[in-house]
Amino acid sequence: MNFLSRKTALMLGAAALAASASTAYADSATFPQRPVTLVVPYLPGGTPDIMARLIGPELHKLWGQPVVVENRAGANGVIGSSAVATAKPDGYTMVVGTTATHVVNGLLYSSIPYDGVKDFAPVAMLGTLSNVLVINPKVPARNIQELIALLKAEPGKYNYGSGGNGSSNHLAAEMFKTMAGVSIMHIPYKSAAPALTGLIAGETSMIFENVSTAIPHIKSGALRPLGVTSAKGSRALPDVPTISASGVPGYDMSFWYGLLAPAGTDPKVVEKINADIRSVLAKPEVRGKLEDRGIDISDSTPSEFSDYMKAEVPKWTEVVKASGARID
């Protein structure tokens, strides 16, 4: 290649880079220009799926492009999350991630095919959801302090159900056991639904259940609520005190939900999606439906969401370590 051709090549290369940058900017400014997929790494009907199907139609109205909700369940959310981690980082494929998929799974499994923090670009935190400690009405306790006294007076008599090792029910209970200094036998079920049914039937004494699924049974009188796991309580259960304020100071466990894209996604695209998500969550009809399910809506930037995720890692590391839970 002679000097002129090299110079021409360099000029052409520079022009290509400029065009590429211009295209990237245009894409972020006009995103999206084709259908967007929200991967839910769980079966239909759960909280992540409900969130995606509430938000999807609203984003469709804003964007004028289809928003497809795709359920890719399996391995406690690992399968769907892994698919998004390796997807093209262009904003058109995102996952409805959770505390479990992006923090806890990496602590429970000896190996998973992605890093929940490093392999994703946090886009928008959707909200947090608390659990609530509910007991079978036959258990003679009306509040947390009475329950703790009962458990200490009769160690080994009472048990709790969960959706399995490493589930939110399990980890919330283990944190309670450690901080309250009590002994409660763990009865793991195949999933949270039969664990809740077992409690109502009297097979177990208590469960730390998701607020949204516990509410109908609380209202019917089938279960008695004693305390909410988050530090600030739940709007959906305003009359139920927090566990922290009821005899276990410092107890705080809630679970986050958010949209995440593959790492390397254009920050301008991330910022645009974040702004649009926040505008959707601010709509009274959307906010109302989520809050009725016990979800506390978030309003955070991508960087705030990223900082929150990173801060969750040491907390959950201690919780999982104390529980002894492993999945291999």
pLDDT in tens, 1-55: 443 444 444 444 544 444 444 444 446 788 999 999 999 998 888 889 999 999 9
In the listed set 206, 228, 246, which residue is the last one of a domain according to the structure?
A: 246
- Among 204, 202, 200, 201, which Cα is nearest to 214's? 200
pLDDT more than 90, % of the chain: 74
b/e per residue, 244-282, with b = 16+ CB within 10 A?
bebbbeebbbbbbbbbbbbeebbeebbbbbbebbbebbe
242 and 177 in a single domain? The answer is yes
229 and 274 in a single domain? The answer is no
193 and 214 in a single domain? The answer is yes
User: Per-residue pLDDT for 250 more than 70?
Assistant: yes
Is 14 domain-assigned? Answer: no
| Residues 234/255, Cβ–Cβ less than 8 Å | no
210/134: higher pLDDT: 134
180 and 236 in a single domain? The answer is yes
197 and 233 in a single domain? The answer is yes
Bridge-based pairing state of the strands 67-71 and 254-262: unpaired
pLDDT at 27: 67
pLDDT at 164: 84
Is 9 domain-assigned? Answer: no
What is the domain-level CATH number for residue 258?
A: 3.40.190.150
What is the domain-level CATH number for residue 142?
A: 3.40.190.10
211 and 160 in a single domain? The answer is yes
In the listed set 213, 246, 279, which residue is the last one of a domain according to the structure?
A: 246
Region at 294 (left for phi over 0; alpha for psi -120 to 50; beta for the rest): left
120 and 46 in a single domain? The answer is yes
49 and 85 in a single domain? The answer is yes
- Cα 198 to Cα 141, 144, 146, 177, distances in angstroms: 19, 21, 23, 21
Is 208 domain-assigned? Answer: yes
Q: Is 189 exposed, middle or buried (0-12, 13-18, 19+ CB in 10 A)?
A: buried
135 and 120 in a single domain? The answer is no
Is 105 domain-assigned? Answer: yes
In the listed set 246, 279, 296, which residue is the last one of a domain according to the structure?
A: 246
272/4: higher pLDDT: 272
Structural domain range at position 164: 130-246
Average pLDDT over residues 237-245: 96
How many domains would you assign to the chain? 2
pLDDT at 39: 98
Quote the pTM value: 0.81
User: Per-residue pLDDT for 215 more than 70?
Assistant: yes
pLDDT at 24: 42
